[in-house]
Amino acid sequence: MKTGGRIFLVDDDELIVTMTARSLKKKGYETQVQTSAKDIFNKIVAWHPDLILLDIHLDENTNGLDILAEIKREKLATPVVMLTSDDSAESAIKAMKLGAVDYLTKPFNIDEVHIVVANILENSRLKDEVEYLRKTGLSCVETQIVGESPAMKSILQKVEMFAKAKTGSLLITGESGTGKEVLARYFHTIYHGEISNDAEYTPFIAINCTALPENLIESELFGHTRGAFTDAKTDKKGVFELADGGTLLLDEFGDMRLDMQSKFLRVLETRTVRRLGGKIDLHFNAAIIAATNTELKKAVEVGEFREDLFYRLNTFAVHLPPLRDRIEDIPYLAQHFLDFFAHQYFKKDLKGFSPEAAKALTQARWPGNIRELRNVIERCVVLQSGDLITMEHLPVELTGTTLVERRKNTQIILPENGLSLDELEKDLVHQAMVRANYNKTKAAKLLNITYDTLRYQVKKHDLDR
């Protein structure tokens, strides 16, 4: 838990104030104290603390609750903990009703104060983060789509045309990590950009069709009315309604149950949904994107996917090829992620990749596609402190094959848990022999050793043909 934060402490008891403040300071908080009611409100505004500890009985004329009320009236977001000296529940209840986040009864235990303070500050941090994420909607990476390969360029063009034509639905297929969600957001931005002039405020609702338990998926998708089933205590909108005016992304769509597929097809064709237990069809207006990494055509053949739904969706479809089939994108993506993470981790000197590292990146197979590339680059950025990412920063899975090519000017980095020097020697001599087609003179040259030494090595490791 992160400590630190600014705490404003108001109490007329000098001793309590001094002792509490001292102990909070020791824990790493900044404190500001006050023992009179004078000018409190202005001081709060001026110092904007993260938390206020406020006594209820300040002096003859001032009640802490009045100050609390003023704080709330003026809509200051600072959380307030009331300090009471009587343990009658009455004033505590009053304080909570007025909007205090908590209260402490004097004489209080200092450990209790620490716990209460830490929890509240942690909570407000989380709240801020959520608010921030909600406001920005997309993370910086996801707003920008990188696609320089001919394959990607034609995909982007196609998606743009579909979006401008307001096709209403889009099917995106591709292996995991190829950027289906990124592409869905791209479609969303273009689709709604012109209508609202502000794509950020049109809803983009994403739902993972496999993450939901079977008994919940239906009510999650279509919503329900109160009393539709035992747990349905209130009315609830389904995702189609929530996405009204925006876009609905149904992720992992290929794994949807057959009976749900039929219902979905009807929704797609009528553009209406009926809530579970509902009596009327509700019209909605949203672009619907289905994304999947299963091959739908095959699923149709084995009877796991409805043929009519497949053809309906396949009218407007794009397939994202795996990264290994569009290696032209790799340098651009790598640089894009490097810039992004260099900024995030304050590595302002970090500019790019050594030629060897760049080559290794394009030669890797990337089974996890762009997501894997992104993770690898993030790790490199964290580990690097110079201006280039070199072979030594890349994970061994990527560099293993080119270890020998790096003979000149490069070091072999000793793995964390060590290695067998003998094995390494054997491996290198073997590689040299293979490459030299078992010509010992050539092999010796590759390893920069004499013919005799090589002969000795070959014998030692039993590497002759």
**Closest listed residue to residue 358, CA positions, set 310, 393, 410, 308:** 393
Q: Mask: binding to ligand ATP, 155-174, rule CB under 6 A, as x and -? A: -------------------x
CB of 291 to ligand ATP, least distance (A): 6
Q: Mask: binding to Mg ion, 175-204, rule CB under 5 A, as x and -? A: ------x-----------------------
Residue 449 is a binding residue for ligand ATP (CB under 6 A): no
Residue 138 is a binding residue for ligand ATP (CB under 6 A): no
Residue 141 is a binding residue for ligand ATP (CB under 6 A): yes
Q: Which of 145, 412, 436, 463 binds ligand ATP (CB under 6 A)?
A: 145
Subset of residues 175 to 194 that bind ligand ATP, contact rule: CB under 6 A? 176-182
Residue 247 is a binding residue for ligand ATP (CB under 6 A): no
CB closer to ligand ATP out of 7 and 183: 183
End-to-end CA distance of the chain: 62
CB of 68 to ligand ATP, least distance (A): 44
Whether residue 107 contacts residue 75, with contact meaning beta carbons closer than 8 Å, is answered with no
Q: Are strands 6-10 and 30-34 parallel, antiparallel or unpaired?
A: parallel
Which of Mg ion, ligand ATP, none does residue 145 bind (CB under 5 to 8 Å by kind)?
Answer: ligand ATP
Tell me the residue number closest to Mg ion, measured at CB.
181
Residue 255 is a binding residue for Mg ion (CB under 5 A): no
# residues contacting Mg ion (CB under 5 A): 1
CB of 207 to Mg ion, least distance (A): 11
# residues contacting ligand ATP (CB under 6 A): 17
Which of ligand ATP, Mg ion, none does residue 141 bind (CB under 5 to 8 Å by kind)?
Answer: ligand ATP
Among 145-153, 242-250, 385-393, 433-441, which window interacts with ligand ATP (CB under 6 A)? 145-153
Q: Which residues make up the interface to ligand ATP (CB under 6 A)? A: 141-142, 145-147, 174, 176-182, 293, 370-371, 374
Q: Which residues make up the interface to Mg ion (CB under 5 A)? A: 181
